[in-house]
Amino acid sequence: MIRFIDIEFGSSRYQELLDLRYKILLQPLGLKFLDSYREQEASFLHIGCIDNSTDELIGGLILVPVDNEEIRVMQVAVDPARQGEGTGRKLIEYAEKTAKEIGYSRIVMHAMLSVVGFYEKLGFTQDSDLFEEKGINFVRMVKEL
């Protein structure tokens, strides 16, 4: 069984989430965490997925308000050992529920091409042409809540 938690910025769970994000999202691309960016994260919502049997963090994401209607999901990561078990789907569904509860009507994200199919399965649609950030190709994807 898994559960979802809100993670407090600066807590030990937050550090675990940073480690997971680094391992899954940054390290494979040869990117580093910028301390200046980390400070901005104080105002973001951090969500973690915990395996109840081990109490380990196995996934997470962040939610960043864009304006009064739109919120952006970023840094979606599931531990490679736990991918393909439905955790990513449940994580996004939890993020959607949270976003709706706090008053947002649209969720957006910049998806790497390798995961566009994952978000399409969850009801997101492509909303932009291909664009490049730090040498990586993305498309903007959107879902009305």
Interface residues with ligand COA (CB under 6 A)?
A: 24-25, 76-78, 83-89, 111-112, 114-115, 117-118, 121
Rounded CA separation 63/8 (Å): 13
124 with 109: CB under 8 angstroms? yes
Q: Which is nearer to ligand COA, 54 or 114 (CB)?
A: 114
Q: Which is nearer to ligand COA, 45 or 49 (CB)?
A: 49
Q: Which is nearer to ligand COA, 10 or 28 (CB)?
A: 28
Rounded CA separation 122/73 (Å): 13
Residue 38 Cβ vs ligand COA, minimum distance, rounded to whole Å:
18
Residue 75 Cβ vs ligand COA, minimum distance, rounded to whole Å:
7
Residue 74 Cβ vs ligand COA, minimum distance, rounded to whole Å:
8
Residue 79 Cβ vs ligand COA, minimum distance, rounded to whole Å:
8
Handedness of CA 14, 16, 50, 84 (dihedral sign): positive
Indicate the residue whose CB is closest to ligand COA: 88
Rounded CA separation 58/78 (Å): 6
| DSSP structure string for 30-67 | T----HHHHHHGGGSEEEEEEETTTTEEEEEEEEEE-S
Residue 24 Cβ vs ligand COA, minimum distance, rounded to whole Å:
5
Q: Helix count (H) and strand count (E) of the chain?
A: 4, 8
Q: Which is nearer to ligand COA, 68 or 134 (CB)?
A: 134
Q: Which is nearer to ligand COA, 70 or 85 (CB)?
A: 85
